[in-house]
Amino acid sequence: HFLVLQRDSLPVCVQVRPKVEFGSLLQHAGATKDVFTIKEVMFYLGQYIIQRQLYDQNQQHIVHCAQDALGRVLGVDSFSVKEPRVLFAMITKNLEAVRN
Ligand SMILES: COc1nc(N(C)C)ncc1-n1nc2c(c1C(C)C)[C@H](c1ccc(C#N)cc1)N(c1cc(Cl)c[nH]c1=O)C2=O
Handedness of CA 85, 89, 92, 94 (dihedral sign): negative
Q: Which residues, including other chains, have CB under 8 Å from residue 55's CB and lie 6 or more apart?
A: 49, 61, 62, 63, 64
Q: Of 12-21, 25-34, 41-50, 71-80, which range is least confident?
A: 12-21
Give ligand 1 pocket residues (Cβ under 6 A): 42, 45-46, 49-50, 55, 60, 63, 81, 84, 87
Which pTM value belongs to this model?
A: 0.89
Nearest to 25 by CA among 82, 80, 88, 95: 95
> What would the pLDDT profile of 70-96 be if each residue is shown by its tens digit?
999 999 999 999 999 999 999 999 999
The Å distance, Cα 3 to ligand 1 centre, comes to 22
The Å distance, Cα 56 to ligand 1 centre, comes to 12
